[in-house]
Amino acid sequence: MIDWQRIWNNDDSIRRFSPTRAILYLLSLLYRLIVYLRNRLYDQQMLKSVKLSCPVISVGNITVGGTGKTPCVIGLAGMIQQHGFRPVVISRGYGGKNPQPVNVVSDGKTILLNAETAGDEPLLIARSLPAIPVITGAKRSLTGQAAIDRFGANVLICDDAFQHRKIFRDIDIVLLDGEKPLGNGHLLPRGELRESPEGLHRAGCIVLTRVDETQPVNPDIAEITRSSGIPVFLAVHRFKEMITPDQSALPPVELRGRKVCAFCGIARPDSFQKLLNEAEAQILSFIPFPDHYSYSRYDLEYLQNNFLSLQADYLVTTEKDAMRLQSHPEFLKIICVLRMEMEITSSQSFENFIVERLTSAAQSGWTR
pLDDT band at 210 (very low <50, low <70, confident <90, very high): confident
Amino acid found at 49: S
Q: Which residues of 60-91 are buried (b: 16+ CB within 10 A; e: fewer)?
A: bbbbbebbbbbbbbbbbbebbeeeebbbbbbb
Instruction: Determine the pLDDT at residue 206.
Output: 95
Tally of residues, the chain = 368
CA angle 30, 293, 177 (to 5 degrees): 60
Residue 341 Cα distances to 149, 320, 354, angstroms: 31, 12, 19
Instruction: Determine the pLDDT at residue 90.
Output: 98
Instruction: Determine the pLDDT at residue 99.
Output: 83
* Separation of alpha carbons 38 and 165, rounded Å: 9
Instruction: Determine the pLDDT at residue 346.
Output: 83
Task: Provide the mean pLDDT of the chain.
Answer: 92
Mean pLDDT, residues 142-167: 97
CA angle 274, 280, 286 (to 5 degrees): 50
What domains are there in the chain, each with its CATH number? Answer: 56-236+343-362 (3.40.50.300), 246-334 (3.40.50)
Amino acid found at 9: N
The predicted-structure confidence for 97-134, as pLDDT tens digits, reads as follows 878 999 999 999 999 999 999 999 999 999 999 999 99
Mean pLDDT, residues 312-317: 98
Question: Are residues 61 and 263 in contact, defined by beta-carbon separation less than 8 angstroms?
Answer: no
pLDDT band at 212 (very low <50, low <70, confident <90, very high): low
Host H or E run for residue 43: helix 19-43
The predicted-structure confidence for 54-91, as pLDDT tens digits, reads as follows 999 999 999 997 899 999 999 999 999 999 999 999 99
* Separation of alpha carbons 351 and 362, rounded Å: 16
DSSP line for 273-305: HHHHHHTT-EEEEEEE--TT----HHHHHHHHH
Whole-model pTM? 0.92
Please name the residues in contact with 271: beta carbons below 8 A apart, sequence gap of 6 or more: 66, 210, 237
Instruction: Determine the pLDDT at residue 368.
Output: 43
Instruction: Determine the pLDDT at residue 50.
Output: 95
Mean pLDDT, residues 335-355: 93
What percentage of the chain has pLDDT greater than the value 70?
Answer: 93
* Separation of alpha carbons 87 and 172, rounded Å: 16
Distance linking the first and last C-alpha atoms of the chain: 48
* Separation of alpha carbons 138 and 288, rounded Å: 29
Host H or E run for residue 223: helix 219-228
Cross-strand partners of 337: 243, 317
The predicted-structure confidence for 8-24, as pLDDT tens digits, reads as follows 766 544 456 678 888 99
3-state secondary structure of 342: strand
Amino acid found at 82: Q
Work out the number of other CB atoms within 10 angstroms of the CB of residue 107.
Answer: 16
Instruction: Determine the pLDDT at residue 97.
Output: 86
Mean pLDDT, residues 151-180: 95
The predicted-structure confidence for 174-198, as pLDDT tens digits, reads as follows 999 988 899 889 999 999 999 999 9
